[in-house]
Amino acid sequence: MARLIADQLSVAAGTQQTDLSLMHAVASRSRLLGAIAIGGFCGVLITLSLAGPVEIEPGHMRLLHGMVAVKGLILTLATALVLRRLRGPVATHTLFGYAFGLGLSAGALAWLWGLSGLLFGSMAFYGGLLLVLKTASRDRLLVAGFTQGSSNGLTKGRA
């Protein structure tokens, strides 16, 4: 009987630990998505307030919008990878680096869609992605996960 109660307590403690880590993961993801939304909103505001009307041929405009759409896919993939990383514990400065970088890229993407200031918008977009890359390279848990995965044979092809 005493062993049964001890087993229940250990299961309850494990559940409590899982709930706590789940709360941290949800909070981290919410902060990241909030930063992306704020960045996109700021990009729209800047575009509406500073950008003037752009006179471009319709074919050229479709081409540029297509290029911005490809940048949108790149941002979506980067966001998905960072969201996957945020399933585990993350330091505050690491979360800030991810959130600021992706938020900057989202704002630049909104700016680029207006087709004015393409050089500035592109520099801001890729600058945000470089910040995410730099943050990921300094993220000890991310790098440790890749190292551990390759040493366990998890990266080898599955039959």
User: Residue 1 falls within a domain, yes or no?
Assistant: no
Q: Which pLDDT does position 59 carry in this prediction?
A: 92
The C-alpha angle 77, 78, 82, rounded to 5 degrees, equals 115
Query: Which DSSP state fits 159?
Result: -
User: Residue 4 falls within a domain, yes or no?
Assistant: no
User: Residue 52 falls within a domain, yes or no?
Assistant: yes
User: Residue 158 falls within a domain, yes or no?
Assistant: no
Q: Which pLDDT does position 131 carry in this prediction?
A: 95
Q: Which pLDDT does position 92 carry in this prediction?
A: 86
Supply the range of the domain harboring residue 133.
19-150
User: Residue 108 falls within a domain, yes or no?
Assistant: yes
User: Residue 14 falls within a domain, yes or no?
Assistant: no
Query: What does each of the 159 residues of the chain score in pLDDT, given as a tens digit?
Result: 455 444 444 444 444 455 666 788 788 888 888 888 998 898 888 878 877 777 889 899 899 999 999 999 999 999 998 888 888 788 888 888 999 999 999 999 988 988 888 899 999 999 999 999 999 999 888 766 555 544 544 444 444
User: Residue 75 falls within a domain, yes or no?
Assistant: yes
First to last CA, the chain: 46
Angle separating helix axes 2-50 and 92-113, nearest 10 degrees: 30
Number of domains in the chain: 1
User: Residue 156 falls within a domain, yes or no?
Assistant: no
70: domain CATH number is 1.20.120
Q: Which pLDDT does position 20 carry in this prediction?
A: 67
